[in-house]
Amino acid sequence: MAERILIVSGSKSDEKIVKKVTDLLDEFGAEYKTEIASAHRTPEKLEKLIEESPAEVFIAVAGLSAALPGVIASKTAKPVIGVPVDVKLEGLDALLSIMQMPPGVPVATVGIDNGKNAGVLAVQILALKDEKLKEKLNRMRKEWGK
């Protein structure tokens, strides 16, 4: 089955945050694919990923200038979730870069290093049209509340 979520990280150093996302998605049985592509170092690869992906939701994990989520959002009308990474300035530089997008090019932004919430938000988006995911999400949220 084709991935419904494409997780793109800016570099291999973001791996521990990507794992937080994939661990959560595995709990739900959500189909995803992970890729490393930098908005600055490999823009052609990134553009090709965006154009060719069948994903319904993108999750972009990035630190420092954190342009990755915004670049993805500028090239697709699909939802993009940005995960700022604590690399410098306790991650505030990445957080502000991701959340301060111009009108018409939004990026949903979760907390610094909070890959788990990015996974939950992606599942919530998919659950709008997927009853199985919706039921599982409701069950999981009850469990998390205990």
pLDDT of residue 146: 66
Entry pTM? 0.96
What strands lie across the sheet with 108-109, from one edge to the other? 32-36, 5-9, 57-63, 80-85, 108-109
Domain of 78 in residue numbering reads as 5-144
Cα gap 34→6, rounded to integer Å: 6
Cα gap 80→83, rounded to integer Å: 10
What CATH number does residue 98 fall under? 3.40.50.1970
For 89-127, what is each residue's pLDDT tens digit? 999 999 999 999 999 999 999 999 999 999 999 999 999
Within 10 angstroms of residue 84's Cβ, the number of other Cβ atoms is 28
Retrieve residue 5's tokens: 């979520």
Give, rounded to a whole angstrom, the gap between the first and last alpha carbons of the chain.
34
Number of domains in the chain: 1
Instruction: Categorize the per-residue pLDDT at 128 as very low, low, confident or very high, splitting at 50, 70 and 90.
Output: very high
